[in-house]
């Protein structure tokens, strides 16, 4: 096993794998350490909406073949509220941009296959215990693999190991500032063997709570319901889920909800979280290790991709010029986009969800905001531009 590498990458999710691939293409060596097994990583259900910038990055690094064959391009979303519906057309409001439905599981499978075939070491079931020496020019990662303790020396460490990972703890408490918001509701997410009920995503606001209609393929629907925090999925039998989806998406026109067997259920808590700075010494944080957004704005995976695009460019600049200028600016560069995404995700969440005990006044403010989006090209363009994805830098 390699005992020294230029970039030690903690986390074999989409952020870590995309970074490893871009570094490989730039001629920069790396080692990826993932605490879970390959099967678990490839089946971990998360995001499914890719911004154009994320799609372009996957294509550029050689991971676009299956994405281009199987990904479903969406040119808009539908908002439903007060038994009305309004479509937001992305290309006309953003200068031609769109989004692509392609599940995180498939992105990860494609990147793993490339890394194992062409890239540097990718170790599964290799949990990291500590990152030491962040403030030195030779940080060290300590991890376990195949029952033995190992040490990996690095020039740099990229922490892509998520919200519960160890990398962010390399940033001392006295240096790190945490900003966060908790939401008083969660999502019940389900997969169903049913064709999507709409060609595009439906975001539905109602007095009963929020609902989202998405998809994973032409035969599989991905659906979400707002539920109280602490909800047990077992309390939601299939028929109750379908009935609630239908009630929350009701509109005054013909529309059919396609029902089918539900194959998976899980509850997703909602939070906003940002850790500043995203760099300490030779340790750089990316993706969920540095920030969390509620999923309403479809920003999580795309923010992670934007982070590692900036990071890969900075490493390439260092290799070509010997200058750490872009690495020194990494945190500030990423945080500008992170906070914009936090604002947009929070806006989508609070506009579309119904708080427990919400007053009629607050409900009318939500309807007023949705009416504004439906009737003002400027308000619709603001939503479309943020949803389809702002420039990475």
Q: Which domain holds residue 118?
A: 4-74+100-180+271-348
Q: Are residues 290 and 226 in the same domain?
A: no
- Tell me, yes or no, whether 83 lies in a domain: no
Residue pLDDT, tens place only, 115-158: 999 999 999 999 999 999 998 999 999 999 999 999 999 999 99
CATH classification of the domain holding 192: 3.30.9.10
192 CA to centre of own chain: 21
Catalytic residue among 143, 183, 203, 224: 203
Catalytic residue among 168, 205, 291, 299: 299
The verdict on whether 185 is a catalytic residue reads no
Q: Are residues 367 and 264 in the same domain?
A: yes
Closest C-alpha to 289, from 159, 179, 149, 120: 159
- Tell me, yes or no, whether 88 lies in a domain: no
Residues contacting 101, CB < 8 A, separation 6+: 48, 49, 50, 71, 72, 73, 74, 214, 215, 216
The DSSP secondary structure of 139-164, one letter per residue, reads -EEEEEETTEEEEEEEEEEEE-S-TT
CATH classification of the domain holding 119: 3.50.50.60
Q: Are residues 149 and 22 in the same domain?
A: yes
Q: Are residues 190 and 250 in the same domain?
A: yes
Catalytic residue among 139, 196, 294, 295: 295
What's the domain count of the chain? 2
Write down the pLDDT at residue 2: 63
- Tell me, yes or no, whether 234 lies in a domain: yes
**Cα(49)–Cα(200) distance, integer angstroms:** 11
The verdict on whether 40 is a catalytic residue reads no
Q: Are residues 282 and 170 in the same domain?
A: yes
Q: Are residues 327 and 370 in the same domain?
A: no
Write down the pLDDT at residue 217: 87
Write down the pLDDT at residue 350: 97
- Tell me, yes or no, whether 89 lies in a domain: no
Report residues of the chain scoring pLDDT below 70. Answer: 1-2
Other Cβ atoms within 10 Å of 354 Cβ, number: 18
- Please state the pTM of the whole predicted model: 0.94
Q: Are residues 242 and 168 in the same domain?
A: no
Catalytic residue among 74, 109, 280, 353: 74
The verdict on whether 330 is a catalytic residue reads no
- Tell me, yes or no, whether 312 lies in a domain: yes
Q: Are residues 213 and 313 in the same domain?
A: no
Q: Are residues 248 and 380 in the same domain?
A: yes
Write down the pLDDT at residue 150: 96
Q: Are residues 339 and 369 in the same domain?
A: no
Write down the pLDDT at residue 391: 85
Write down the pLDDT at residue 173: 87
Q: Are residues 249 and 195 in the same domain?
A: yes
């Amino acid at each position: 096993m390699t005992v020294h590498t230029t970039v030690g990458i903690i986390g074999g999710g989409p952020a870590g794998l995309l970074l490893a691939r871009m570094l490989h293409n730039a001629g920069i060596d790396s080692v990826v350490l993932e605490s879970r097994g390959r099967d678990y990583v490839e089946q971990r259900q998360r995001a499914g909406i890719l911004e154009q910038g994320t799609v372009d990055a996957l294509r550029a690094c050689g991971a676009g073949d299956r994405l281009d064959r199987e990904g479903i391009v969406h040119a808009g979303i539908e908002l439903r509220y007060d038994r009305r519906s309004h479509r937001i057309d992305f290309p006309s409001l953003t200068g031609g941009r769109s989004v692509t439905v392609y599940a995180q599981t498939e992105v990860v499978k494609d990147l793993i296959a490339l890394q194992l075939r062409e890239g540097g070491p990718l170790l599964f079931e290799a949990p990291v215990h500590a990152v030491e020496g962040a403030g030195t020019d030779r940080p060290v990662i300590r991890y376990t693999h195949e029952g033995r303790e190992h040490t990996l020396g690095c020039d740099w460490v990229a922490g892509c190991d998520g919200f519960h990972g160890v990398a962010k703890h390399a940033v001392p408490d006295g240096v790190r500032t945490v900003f966060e918001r908790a939401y008083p509701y969660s999502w019940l997410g389900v997969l169903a063997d049913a064709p999507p009920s709409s060609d595009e995503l439906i975001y539905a606001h109602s007095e009963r709570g929020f609902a989202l209609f998405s998809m994973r393929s032409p035969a599989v629907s991905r659906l979400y319901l707002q539920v109280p925090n602490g909800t047990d999925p077992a309390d939601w039998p299939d028929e109750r889920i379908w009935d609630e989806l239908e009630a929350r998406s009701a509109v005054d026109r013909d529309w059919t909800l396609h029902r089918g067997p539900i194959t998976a259920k899980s509850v997703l808590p909602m939070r906003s979280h940002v850790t500043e700075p995203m760099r300490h010494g030779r340790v750089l944080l990316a993706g969920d290790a540095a920030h969390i957004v509620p999923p309403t704005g479809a920003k999580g995976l795309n923010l992670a991709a934007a982070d590692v695009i900036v990071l890969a460019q900075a490493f390439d600049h260092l290799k070509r010029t010997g200058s750490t200028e872009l690495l020194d600016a990494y945190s500030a560069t990423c945080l500008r986009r992170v906070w914009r995404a936090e604002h947009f995700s929070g806006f989508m969440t609070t506009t579309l969800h119904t708080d427990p005990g919400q007053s009629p006044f607050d409900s009318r403010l939500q309807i007023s905001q949705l009416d504004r989006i439906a009737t003002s090209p400027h308000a619709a363009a603001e939503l479309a531009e943020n949803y389809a994805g702002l420039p990475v830098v």
